[in-house]
Each structure stands twice: as C-alpha cells, then as structure tokens.
Amino acid sequence: MAKEIERKFLVKGDAWRGQNAGKRYRQGYLSTVKERTVRVRTVGDKGFLTVKGITVGASRSEYEYEIPVADANEILDWLCERPLIEKTRYRIQHGGLVWEIDEFEGENRGLVTAEVELKDEQQAVKPPNWVGQEVTGDPRYFNANLVAKPFTKWESKT
C-alpha cells in the first residue's frame, strides 16, 4: 500500500504552457464512494486500475495495478459511471517539486488544476506564480466528484 500525500491548487493564466507536451488521460469510476473509490484510467497506451481509501488530511491509501489497455478501454466504454473524465496532464519541475497540471475537457472544460506530491504533510511548498488558490481537501475538485457534478454545471466556481 502506498500513502498519497498531495496538495492541489487552481491554475491562473497561461504562463505554465509550452514547457512540455502533455499526456492524454481518460478515466472513469466504478465506485465514487469516498471510503472506497475505484478508478480505471488510460494514460497514453497504458491502462491502470486504482483503489483509494478515505482521505485523512492530505493523505490517502492507494493501490494501483497496471492492466491491459484493451481491458481498461472496455471497462471505460461499458461499465464506468458517466461522464468520463478526460484531461491532458502536463508535468512541470519547479522549486524541486514536480507539478502536475490537469487541463480538463468535455463536461469539465475550463477547469485547470495543479498538484504536488509531498513526502510528508509538513513539507514546505513554494508555488510558482501561475498557481492560485489552494483547493486541497475541497471535495468538489476530487476527480471522482467531477463525474456527478462536472465543472461546467457548477453554479459558483469560487
């Protein structure tokens, strides 16, 4: 079991663009219950099945297994809740950390988030200037919740 410690922020402006090519992510959920989230994902030509437990602070237990991409696509096409989450992920090095920027598409277009993975919850983070408001722990931004309530349907975006 891996423990995932992450902080998540909104991205402002476009200064982060053009630093490298992104990777296409297509993902869906077999369970979006917070105690037991089950995610299926394709990243380029690879497939993954991931089980996550409940979030405590910024930490969450996570079990990830690579599966055949053909299986992942079938499960996404036929079994997962709708809509699927589609996004392009860009990885940018800054201040000794890797920032993962997710630019969402489809029913979540307009949403751009940046995440950093930390060694422990106390680790200092110096965000780049294109990083805005922190949204760690705000359940609206959990990818699993962007299925039932996609960004384009939100009444208030603040």
Q: Which sequence positions are flagged as catalytic? A: 29
Of residues 65 and 120, the one with the C-beta less far from a second copy:
65
Binding to a second copy by residue 63, rule CB under 8 A? yes
H/E run at residue 73: helix 69-78
Pairing of strands 131-134, 46-56: unpaired
Binding to a second copy by residue 69, rule CB under 8 A? no
Site stretch for a second copy (CB under 8 A), options 6-14, 32-40, 83-91, 138-146: 32-40
Binding to a second copy by residue 31, rule CB under 8 A? yes
- The amino acid occupying position 64 is E
Binding to a second copy by residue 1, rule CB under 8 A? yes
Of residues 88 and 145, the one with the C-beta less far from a second copy:
145
